[in-house]
Amino acid sequence: METNKRHKNVASLSEMKPFESTNGRFSVTAKNLSIPAGAKELGCNWFELPVGKTSFPYHFHTGIEEAIYILKGQGTARIGKDQVEVKEGDFLSFPAGPENAHTLINSGTEPMQYLCFSNHSHVDIMGYPDSKKIGFYATPDPAEWPQKSAWVRMMIKDQPNIDYFEGENKD
């Protein structure tokens, strides 16, 4: 990142260091724009999704809302039970909740570029309907994702509910 910034609230994509996440059919390159621009409550990341790859596992959030704006390319968004063709200029909104579970697949012929916006939250619980997992996330500063780790980051398999006091009344 450039040390002589034009202004503390201005960030340039060309100045940001990318981070990559790749695992099997999932692969993205991303650059965080909100932290370098001094954002406190709003997150914004630029993503590039290679041809034939999926952004992240199909998931929903309980603590944040997300939105995507497609800058370049085309693909398929899986939103709830629907498969929706998306392209440059489309805006996608994912309010919190299982009916808005989502993922993005680059089914086009060129890398897809998009911006992903979300409100920062210190705590989020994510559901993964395909793999029956639940993810928990808590951090002192959500603006530091992904550079710094969370206080708690845990993935568990979805299982039947237990009683609130189970295992607590042992003498």
* Residue 64 near residue 97, CB atoms below 8 Å: no
For 21-30, 50-59, 78-87, 160-169, which range has the lowest pLDDT when averaged over its residues? 160-169
How much is the pLDDT for 13?
A: 94
How much is the pLDDT for 1?
A: 45
For residues 102 and 158, the model is more confident at 102
Phi, psi of 71 (to 5 degrees): -90, -35
For residue 161, give Cα distances in angstroms to 38, 136, 166: 41, 16, 11
Query: b vs e for 89-117, b when ≥16 Cβ sit within 10 Å of the residue's Cβ?
Result: eeebebebeeebbbbbbbbbeeebbbbbb
How much is the pLDDT for 4?
A: 67
Distance CA 32, CA 7 (A): 17
* Residue 38 near residue 8, CB atoms below 8 Å: yes
pLDDT tens digit sequence for 55-80:
999 999 998 999 999 999 999 999 99
Distance CA 48, CA 55 (A): 9
Q: Which CATH class is domain 13-124?
A: mainly beta
Query: Is the per-residue pLDDT at 145 higher than 70?
Result: no
Mean pLDDT in the chain? 88
Domain locations in the chain? Answer: 13-124
pLDDT tens digit sequence for 83-106:
999 999 999 999 999 999 999 999
How much is the pLDDT for 3?
A: 55
